[in-house]
């Protein structure tokens, strides 16, 4: 059956049409154009479609949800579930704007128990894609198939399908070229989809999720009632082992997992907050978590956490933003105290002595989940090409390892200066005939390492340090997919990384320059930063970003004591750089204060 498209003026708007004649500068827009405008708020990218459709499947009581995408969701998105399905009449109504089964009247807005409630998503998706809906209820003898391309006529027919719903979205934004133009690469869009699916997998462990990309199964989660099992599936078993359970049961109920202080990341990507099982972003809750960790965290490090908050729907407002990722909370102080207490209590009651782990061998842990094991890649150890720098003991204050006259350094680019001392174990103080200089030891060393790496044309041959015992790193589904795509690029910067099993990788070699500051956390941080930098466009720009990260991690840190000889060597190497005055990120390596300026400050002139 073919019926006219229902994207036209509503009866209320028709009654106002008489006021909007051809001579009027103000006109009433038709419903189809309104839907396309609304789609810009609700549907930003393929991941937005996946989010809205998964929420509909969850609200329909599905226990199995399969997401099938092609070209990062730009070409195809298909969501199949085993939920309650819809009748023919319900399916037709569901595609109209502001049609929903979640709320009935105004009073329901103050007590929302479902993920969806606006009735905007399906109509928005239909307006910017080639859309198909197949659905059937348990009691229906036949299913309903509805297809529609944007504003074209809607075709409805009966089909034989099992109970549940399948929605297919093809050629997203085909009729809005401006939106289509600004979609990212397929790998970036796929990464965003993985983020959406894993966020629901964590909070709905009883639902079996499956992700298929370009006919390859990328992700499948066990159907379980144990959140920790899905943490192991998504973030790896080593992460799952180092998570602490949290529990708080008063007027607000808080459950979930937080990482031990020994398990941190350089960024905040592995942090999830749920309120009434809705994935949200909230600064108040995040601040409460960090305040509870307080001195447990090293500067610049961030915990992993999955926090689920059950709260009376009447004291929160989820009708804030079309994406429904923001909420307003009536009793903010009470919520802050609850989250703070839950996290702090878990940290104080737990054994937090870091455990030294050998990640050269995979270990089994007693978690209730099963993951397939791929055969190990054969590996023949090679002789290391790296010789560590000799250890230099710390010197007592004012004790120099060299003659005073050797502190005078003749430079061509940098000013001629004499080293005086190091302050706060972070800055080198030097003087010339007319000025005083402060050198940031980390920024200077970072510039040196950056230019060394840039000048090494073939790091695989000349700049790699083969590890006698390869290190095994385990990543999330999304990070593993990105790293696998970038492994050839990593080889060009001195890394040798190969798939090991599932989402694990074997690190066989690292850049020689990183070996001087080698630690497992350093390697993990570099790889995590590389994954973050995958959004950088252009292969040369991405490679440059990777080199900057390696140079940073390989450099002496602020707070590290240096001997006189080490300070002189640092400045001599800085002199040889092409651009010695800034670090690769643009920060200054050296600042100057003339003696005239000093005298002026002391009001001597």
What confidence tens digit (pLDDT) does each residue in 20-36 have? 555 666 766 666 666 55
Dist. CA 469–CA 381, nearest whole Å: 8
Closest CA to 79 of 62, 92, 93: 62
- Asked if 446 and 397 sit in the same domain, the reply is yes
DSSP reduced 3-state for 7: coil
Indicate if 329 and 417 belong to the same structural domain: no
So what's the pLDDT on residue 401? 32
CATH code assigned at 277: 3.30.230.10
Q: Which residues contact 138 (CB under 8 A, 6 or more apart)?
A: 84, 85, 163
- Give percent of the chain above pLDDT 90: 31
Query: Which stretch of 16-30, 138-152, 194-208 has the lowest confidence by average pLDDT?
Result: 16-30
Task: Tell me which of 220, 243, 259 is where a domain ends.
Answer: 220
**444 and 515 in a common domain:** yes
**pLDDT value of position 308:** 94
pLDDT above 70 for 40: no
Same-domain pairing of 58 and 25: yes
Q: In this structure, are 391 and 467 located in the same domain? A: yes
Q: For the chain, what is the radius of gyration of the CA atoms?
A: 30
Residue 360 inside a domain? The answer is no
**Which residue would you say has higher pLDDT here, 105 or 121?**
121
Q: Shortest CA distance to 529 belongs to which of 495, 579, 560, 499?
A: 495
Domain range spanning residue 524? 372-605
At 75, list the tokens. Answer: 């070409």
Write down which residue in 220, 241, 275 finishes a domain.
220
**What are the C-alpha distances in Å from 510 to residues 468, 497, 515?**
11, 9, 7
The torsion angle over the Cα atoms of residues 173, 178, 184 and 187, rounded to 10 degrees, is 30
**CATH number for position 575:** 3.30.1540.20
The answer to whether position 322 is within a domain reads: yes
The answer as to whether 358 is a domain residue is no
pLDDT value for 552: 85
Instruction: Calculate the alpha carbon distances from 245 to 98, 258, 291, 297, 350 in Å.
Output: 40, 7, 18, 18, 10
Domain presence at residue 44: yes
pLDDT for the residue numbered 204: 93
**Can you read off the two tokens belonging to residue 342?**
């839950």
H, E, C per residue of 327-349:
CEECCHHHHHHHHHHHHHHHHHH
Residue 331 has pLDDT above 70, yes or no: yes
Please give the C-alpha separations between residue 57 and each of 167, 229, 581, in angstroms, as whole numbers: 10, 22, 57
Secondary structure of residue 596 in the 3-state scheme? helix
Mean of the per-residue pLDDT values for the chain? 78
Does 102 share its domain with 11?
yes
Q: Look up the CATH number of the domain holding residue 23.
A: 3.30.565.10
Q: Which residues contact 106 (CB under 8 A, 6 or more apart)?
A: none
Question: Where does the pLDDT of residue 356 fall: very low under 50, low under 70, confident under 90, or very high at 90 and above?
Answer: very low
> Would you call 550 helix, strand, or coil by DSSP?
helix
Q: Are residues 197 and 245 in the same domain?
A: no
CA dihedral 365, 371, 376, 381 (to 10 degrees): -40
Give pLDDT tens digits for 48-78.
999 999 999 999 999 999 999 999 999 999 9
DSSP string, 375-404: PPPP---------PPPP-----TT--SS-G
- Say how far apart CA 391 and CA 530 lie, in whole Å: 31
- From the number of C-beta atoms within 10 Å of its C-beta (0-12, 13-18, 19+), residue 231 rates as buried
Identify whether 151 is part of a domain: yes
Nearest to 27 by CA among 39, 36, 18: 18
601: confidence class by pLDDT, cuts 50, 70, 90: confident
The residue length of the chain stands at 605
Based on the fold, state whether residues 12 and 159 are members of the same structural domain: yes
The pLDDT assigned to 294 comes to 80
- Mean pLDDT along residues 88-117: 68
> Is residue 512 situated within a structural domain?
yes
359 domain-assigned: no
If asked whether residues 442 and 555 sit together in one domain, one would say: yes
> Do 521 and 377 share a domain, yes or no?
yes
Regarding whether 237 and 216 lie in a shared domain, the answer is: no
Strands 76-81 and 64-70: antiparallel
Give the residue from 297, 314, 349 where a domain finishes.
349
Position 426 confidence tier, pLDDT thresholds 50, 70, 90: very high
Number of domains into which the chain is organized: 3
Could you tell me if residue 266 is inside a domain?
yes
Residues 204 and 242 in one domain: no
pLDDT tens sequence across 272-284: 999 999 898 889 9
Residue 313's φ and ψ, nearest 5 degrees, are: -60, -20
448-481 pLDDT, tens digit per residue, is 988 888 876 544 444 678 888 888 888 877 788 7
Q: How confident is the model at residue 546 (pLDDT cuts 50, 70, 90)?
A: confident
């Amino acid at each position: 059956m073919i019926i006219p498209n229902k994207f036209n003026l509503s009866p209320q708007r028709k009654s106002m049409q008489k006021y909007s004649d051809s001579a009027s500068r103000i006109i009433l827009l038709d419903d189809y154009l309104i839907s396309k405008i609304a789609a810009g708020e609700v549907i930003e990218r393929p991941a937005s479609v996946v989010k809205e459709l998964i929420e509909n499947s969850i609200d329909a009581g599905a226990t199995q949800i399969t997401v099938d995408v092609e070209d990062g969701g730009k070409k195809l998105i298909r969501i199949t579930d085993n939920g309650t399905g819809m009748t023919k009449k319900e399916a037709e109504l569901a595609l109209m704007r502001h049609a929903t089964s979640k709320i009935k009247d105004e009073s329901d807005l103050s007590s929302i128990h479902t993920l969806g409630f606006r009735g905007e998503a399906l109509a928005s998706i239909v307006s910017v894609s080639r859309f198909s809906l197949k659905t059937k209820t348990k009691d229906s003898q036949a299913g309903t198939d509805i297809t529609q391309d944007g504003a074209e006529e809607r075709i409805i027919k009966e089909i034989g399908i099992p109970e549940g719903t399948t929605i297919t979205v093809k050629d997203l934004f085909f009729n809005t070229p401006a939106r289509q133009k600004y979609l990212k690469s397929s790998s970036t869009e796929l990464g965003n989809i993985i983020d959406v699916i894993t966020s629901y997998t964590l909070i709905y462990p009883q639902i079996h999720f499956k992700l298929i990309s370009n006919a390859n199964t990328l992700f499948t989660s066990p159907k379980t009632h144990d959140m920790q099992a899905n943490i192991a599936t998504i973030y790896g078993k080593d992460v799952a082992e180092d998570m602490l359970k949290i529990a708080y049961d008063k007027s607000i109920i808080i459950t979930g997992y937080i990482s031990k202080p020994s398990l941190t990341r350089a960024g905040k990507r592995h942090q999830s907050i749920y309120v009434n099982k809705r994935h949200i972003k909230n600064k108040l809750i995040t601040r409460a978590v960090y305040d509870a960790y307080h001195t447990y965290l090293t500067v610049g490090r961030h915990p992993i956490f999955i926090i689920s908050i059950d709260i009376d729907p009447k004291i929160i407002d989820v009708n804030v933003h079309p994406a429904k990722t923001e909420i307003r909370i009536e009793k903010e102080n009470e919520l802050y105290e609850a989250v703070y207490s839950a996290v702090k209590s878990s940290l104080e009651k737990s054994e937090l002595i870091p455990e030294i782990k050998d990640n050269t061998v995979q270990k089994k842990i007693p978690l209730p989940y099963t993951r397939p094991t791929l055969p190990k890649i054969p590996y023949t150890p090679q002789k290391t090409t790296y010789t560590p720098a000799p250890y230099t003991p710390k010197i007592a204050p004012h004790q120099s390892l060299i003659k005073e006259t050797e502190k005078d350094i003749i430079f061509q680019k940098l000013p001629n200066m004499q080293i005086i001392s190091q302050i706060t174990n972070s800055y080198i103080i030097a003087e010339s005939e007319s000025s005083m200089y402060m050198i940031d030891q980390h920024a200077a060393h970072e510039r040196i390492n950056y230019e060394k790496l840039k000048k090494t044309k073939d790091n695989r041959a000349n700049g790699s340090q083969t590890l006698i015992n390869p290190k095994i790193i385990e990543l999330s589904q999304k990070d593993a997919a990105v790293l696998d795509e970038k492994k050839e690029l990593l080889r060009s910067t001195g890394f040798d990384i190969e798939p090991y099993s599932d989402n694990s990788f074997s690190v066989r070699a690292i850049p020689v320059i990183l070996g001087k500051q080698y630690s497992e956390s350093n390697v993990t941080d570099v790889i995590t930063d590389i994954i973050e930098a995958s959004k950088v466009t252009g292969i040369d720009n991405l490679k440059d970003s990777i080199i900057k990260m390696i140079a940073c991690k390989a450099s002496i840190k602020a707070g590290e004591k240096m001997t006189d000889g080490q300070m002189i060597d640092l400045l001599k190497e800085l002199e040889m750089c092409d651009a010695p005055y800034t670090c690769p990120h643009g920060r200054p390596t050296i600042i100057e204060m003339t003696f005239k300026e000093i005298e002026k400050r002391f009001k001597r002139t």
